[in-house]
């Protein structure tokens, strides 16, 4: 089973939504973790917009990337353009993508909805790509 790491600056909104989508849409196909260059909390609005579509991310935690080993993952996805700040070993995995999605933190709920929907489409594409590598 392929292992995916979603990473963001604070592991609060985008990477948490990506983890929720990947765990739900890729259930039984991929293993998923998310982390941040620094840890914070799972953003309450991220929890809310995911609950609106039936995905519960309340049990997810915000963890620092330094808690994990790059060699344990097949794919690394940066959601915020932070790829340039990642240690080299993370960027050199089989799949590395930097999605550079807008940070919805502090913005209206419509921004959370748009970013959530963009993440869903990209996660679906990623799962499809990973299934072809098996």
In the DSSP assignment, the letter for residue 8 is: E
45-62: average pLDDT: 97
Helix (H, G, I), strand (E, B) or coil at 14: helix
- Report whether pLDDT(48) > 80: yes
Q: pLDDT tens for residues 85-109?
A: 899 999 999 999 999 999 999 999 9
Known catalytic residue: 13?
Answer: no
This prediction's pTM: 0.96
CATH number reported for the structural domain that contains residue 77 in this entry:
3.40.50.2300
Domain residue limits at 75: 2-133
Known catalytic residue: 82?
Answer: no
On whether the CB atoms of residues 50 and 112 are closer than 8 A, the answer is no
Closest CA to 22 of 123, 116, 130, 133: 123
The active-site residue, picked from 80, 82, 119, 127, is 80
On whether the CB atoms of residues 9 and 37 are closer than 8 A, the answer is yes
The active-site residue, picked from 7, 8, 46, 126, is 8
- Report whether pLDDT(134) > 80: no
Question: What confidence score (pLDDT) does residue 62 get?
Answer: 95
Q: pLDDT tens for residues 1-39?
A: 999 999 999 999 999 999 999 999 999 999 999 999 998
How many structural domains comprise the chain?
1
Question: What confidence score (pLDDT) does residue 19 get?
Answer: 98
What's the CA gap between 30 and 26, in Å, rounded?
Answer: 6
């Amino acid at each position: 089973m392929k292992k995916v790491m979603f990473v963001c600056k604070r592991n609060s909104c985008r990477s948490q939504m990506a983890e929720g989508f990947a765990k739900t849409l890729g259930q039984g196909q991929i293993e998923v973790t998310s982390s941040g260059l620094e840890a914070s909390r799972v953003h309450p609005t991220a929890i809310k917009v995911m609950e609106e579509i039936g995905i519960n991310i309340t049990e997810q935690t915000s963890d620092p990337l330094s808690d994990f080993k790059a060699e344990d993952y097949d794919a690394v996805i940066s959601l915020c353009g932070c790829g340039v700040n990642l240690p080299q070993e993370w960027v050199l995995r089989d799949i590395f993508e930097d999605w550079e999605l807008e940070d919805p933190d502090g913005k209206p709920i419509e921004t959370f909805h748009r970013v959530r929907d963009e993440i869903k489409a990209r996660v679906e594409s990623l799962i499809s790509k990973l299934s072809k590598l098996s």
